[in-house]
Amino acid sequence: MLLMIFLFQDTNAKHFVLIHGSGHGAWCWYKLVALLRSSGHDVTALDMAASGINLQQVLDVPTISNYFRPLMDFMDSVPTRETVILVAHSSGGLAVSLAMERFPDKISVSVFVTALMPGTSLNISTLSQEFLRSQQGSLMDSRYSYDNGADKPPTTLMLGPKYLSVNMYQLSPIQDWSLATMLVRPVYLYTEEDMSRELVLSSKKYGSISRVYIMTDEDKVARKELQQWMVRQNPPDKVVEIKGSDHMVMMSRPTELFDVLLLLIAQNYS
């Protein structure tokens, strides 16, 4: 009987690949990683370039192509006949969208967790403008750096503890906010031109992959109105809402996120 259980788990195991948002790293998925692995699934949580424990520094990745490279390298290493479930949070949706375009045969479904979701009819320029328009309030104690000179546009942004507390982790356990204040790293501010050049998406490739969008109702970064706008402009196959979550849904509502990934997505997309 025990052998049969293990065989059943192996047969039904999925491989989830988790992609973090700006300033964060693989560390922010620690609760979800534990839940998925304890259910018998394979999980890979990646650090993008100059993020988490990736050894590169922020000024070493001046193009978004450099920033995306860890995910592209990983997808290239996935065996031809295998597929993964990509899960993007926040700006991680941009990296996942590019992976969909480049590796459509290696992805069973892509999940956008309150994430930026460009598409074949929603270019990055329009998406960036709508995101900026949706922002309310200031960046508080966050800090810009001007590595190309004070008369030039800022090059990086470091999210401040107060900003994290008020806008990103306001419904998360205080321990998770405290962890974030120690681990967040500067974000390179890529130009719209650079992002537009890299993120060219086609119906044949990007459009061939199923997409699920997970909305959060108390998000102060990707506000609900922005999430709804993206869903209207670039309709996914399925939309799910997790109630009572801030932007960091994997911190504030990890069990609910796990339930959606396991019960709705893993069982319905192969």
* Catalytically active residues, by annotation: 90, 219, 247
Place of tokens 């590019």: 98
| Secondary structure in 3-state letters for the chain | CHHHHHHHHHHHCCEEEEECCCCCCHHHHHHHHHHHHHCCCEEEEECCCCCCCCCCCHHHCCCHHHHHHHHHHHHHHCCCCCCEEEEEECCHHHHHHHHHHHCHHHEEEEEEECCCCCECCECHHHHHHHHHHHCCCCCCCCEEECCCCCCCCCCEEECCHHHHHHHHCCCCCHHHHHHHHHHCCCEECCCHHHHHHHCCCCCCCHHHCEEEEEEECCCCCCCHHHHHHHHHHCCCCEEEEECCCCCCHHHHCHHHHHHHHHHHHHCCCC
